[in-house]
Structure 1
Amino acid sequence: MTSTSVVIPTFGRIKLALNLARSIRSFHHDIEIIIVDQENQNPPDGKTLSDTGVRYYNLDKANTSVAKNTGWRQARGEVVIFFDDDIEIAQNTIKTHLDCYSDKDVVGVAGRVIVDHESVPSDTDVLTGKTNFLGTKFVYRFWSTQRQTVDFPYGCNMSFRKAILEKVGGFDPGFPKIFEEVDLGVRVSKIGKIVFEPETLAFHHKAGGGGIRPEEKANKQRLIFQNYGRYLAKNVPFPFSLVSLFIRSITAAKINICLIGHLWKNYLLGLRRPRRSRRLE
């Protein structure tokens, strides 16, 4: 079996992360589990970590991309699985992640995700994890039951070969939260195959407290438009990205005119970075 590491980023929810680690350990006694905490205030005691059998890292500043980069760079496994701390996995979730890598062309796996309080349609044989050339459409239907090649995964249940993460430089810290897995997935899918495997199931409970996503709607919208600007600068060729930018500016204006400034500012900042992937934090 391919050697594997599981990375669990967390912020303000160390108990959830440890509970998930215990659940994983009950299915897989020898698997490496890495928890990357972004709180730096209340680390668990040594006995708890020892009893759970996890490697623990504590960051000074909250940044989901940096946390995930810390995890995979410390990982010993050839395949690195990323789980959010507030998910629940099935007994075969990790195994089905790994089974996909028997195909040497596969460099990443997107798992199926059922989210609490979100209804699943009767017809689940649909496309998911897709975007278009202009980056104006993103299909998030990770409850799908159709096995397929995708452009990006759902960040709470995904895996990659460590070698491909090294090749593309990992997650971009310019996405401190929200959209980091889409950016990574699109970059990876340009040079390798990411498969969506519906048997690789996780239930996303979306814990009410903790985490580093902005709770206020206005803050979340600002961050979404900021990150979208950066995404366009990195992943959609110029001048086509300008078309996407104008389309999204219309959407931003309908919500809050100030969002246009956030969108364009991060787009211009993104253009200043080298187009070619470089090693990230």
Structure 2
Amino acid sequence: MPDISVIVPTLDADRTFGWESKLRASPVEAELLVRDEASASAARNAGIRAASADKLVFLDDDSDPRGDYFQRVSALLDEHPAVTGRIRDTGSRFIRPVSSSDYDQGESGHVTETVVGCNMAMRREVLEDIGGFDERLPYGHEETELIDRLCDAYDVWYCPDLVVDHPFADSLGGYLEKQYRHGREAVPYYAIRGENLPRRMARFALVPSHYTGPTATATALQTLGQLVAVAGMARGLLWYLAADGGDGPLDQPTDERI
């Protein structure tokens, strides 16, 4: 039985990633599961069901694990129920000021509740306890919802030397599209959490810190991205209010790209 199962959702099951030789050369016995189900949630859940190992590693199809990543993540899962690590933004340099807070959590290891799906791993027993990814959430918040449940019962350890390269956005247009979709898909996420949607949207739109960054450039990007996200959330809220029985927005169409 392999020591780790690496699960990658993608739109192309035949896709290769460039780091497979690193996985094969690792002293850790591993299997790679590339899944192309209809959404990231469905693909990850299918990967979990198919996995042979008790240590499950989740990467995106544009993640690039660095150094001795696979050996390191296996060792960390011997010590912690769930782990995440540093993400080096390889996207547009112009957009990087707005990715740093989630992507790089500093130089020291610590317990965290900030986990990005392109670099996370957990023991199988954790998922058996809390359940898998909620497939009503196709994009953008599926990992957040799972981490909410995980952090209610377990600690997630951030390790700064568990590193992947991953682009946050390759262009201004890509960044704004991402912000719009994140805003739109926030509505089913908040509905699952049982929150008052108009009130939650107002809180999201009116918090001043959502519009500011450490530099003038970051503030301009943050403000523009926040306004687009608010527009996406408004679109999601309208869908929710128009849906019959309150269940519609959880199944709304999406132009997801994994």
TM-score by length of 1: 0.65
Aligned counterpart, 2:87: 113
Matched, 1:260 2:218: no
More deviation, 190-199/7-16: 7-16
Q: Does 1:150 align with 2:112?
A: yes
Contact kept? 1:152, 1:184, Cα under 8 Å? no
CA–CA separation in structure 1 for the residues paired with 2:31 and 2:232: 45
Q: Secondary structure at 1:113's aligned position in 2?
A: strand
Kindly tell me the number of residue pairs found equivalent between the two proteins.
221
Residue of structure 2 equivalent to 1:247:
203
CA distance 1:254–1:117, shift in 2 (3 Å): closer
Tell me the equivalent position of 1:167. Answer: 129
The equivalent position to 2:49 in structure 1, one of 73, 84, 87, is 73
Partner Cα distance (1:141, 1:253) in 2: 18
Shift of 1:258: 6.9
Q: What percent identity do the matched residue pairs reach?
A: 21
- Contact 2:58–2:117 under 8 Å retained in 1: yes
Structure 1: how far apart are the matches of 2:123 and 2:28?
21
Q: Is the 8 A contact 2:89 2:103 kept in 1?
A: no
TM-fit CA distance, 1:221:
4.2
Q: Which amino acid aligns with 2:31?
A: E
* Deviation, structure 1 residue 150: 1.2
1:70 shift after superposition: 0.6
Number of the residue aligned with 1:9:
9
Contact 1:111 1:197 (C-alpha < 8 Å) held by counterparts: yes
Question: Does the CA-based 8 Å contact 1:152-1:186 persist in structure 2?
Answer: no
Equivalent pair of 1:229/1:265 in contact (CA under 8 Å): no
Indicate the residue corresponding to 1:56 in structure 2.
none
Root mean square deviation, CA, Å: 3.6
1:34 paired with 2:37, answer no
Structure 1 partner of 2:254 = none
List structure 1 runs of 4+ shifted beyond 3 angstroms: 12-17, 205-208, 214-218, 249-259, 263-272
Q: Are 2:151 and 1:189 aligned?
A: yes
Q: Structure 2 vs 1, CA of residues 216 and 200 (structure 1 numbering), >3 Å: closer, same or farther?
A: closer
Asked if residue 97 in structure 1 is aligned to residue 73 in structure 2, the reply is yes
In structure 1, the partner of 2:62 is: 86
Gaps of 5+ in 1: 39-58, 120-127, 129-138, 209-213, 273-281
Distance apart, 1:15 and its partner CA: 3.6
For the 8 Å contact 1:253–1:259, the answer to whether it is kept is no
Task: Write the distance in 2 (CA, Å) between the matches of 1:88 and 1:27.
Answer: 15
AA aligned to 1:11 is L
Post-superposition offset of 1:146: 2.4
Distance 1:215 1:20, change over 3 A: same
- TM normalised by structure 2 equals 0.70
Task: Name the CA shift for 1:270/1:150 in 2 (closer, same or farther; >3 Å).
Answer: farther
Q: 1:230 Cα deviation (Å)?
A: 2.2
What SS does the aligned partner of 2:159 have?
A: strand
The one-letter code of the counterpart of 1:232 is: Y
SS class of match (1:190)? helix
Which secondary structure state, in structure 2, belongs to the residue aligned with residue 228 of structure 1? Answer: helix
Structure 2 unaligned runs (5+)? 94-99, 208-224, 251-258
Report the residue type matching 1:263 in the other structure: L
Shift of 1:264: 5.8
Give the 3 Å change call, closer, same or farther, for CA 69–152 of structure 1 in structure 2.
farther
Distance change in 2, residues 1:258/1:185 (3 Å): closer
CA distance in 2, matches of 1:9, 1:271: 23
Q: Secondary structure at the match of 2:153?
A: coil
The one-letter code matched in structure 1 to 2:147 is G
Match of 1:54 in 2: none
Q: Report what 2:186 is aligned to.
A: 228
1:192 partner amino acid:
Y
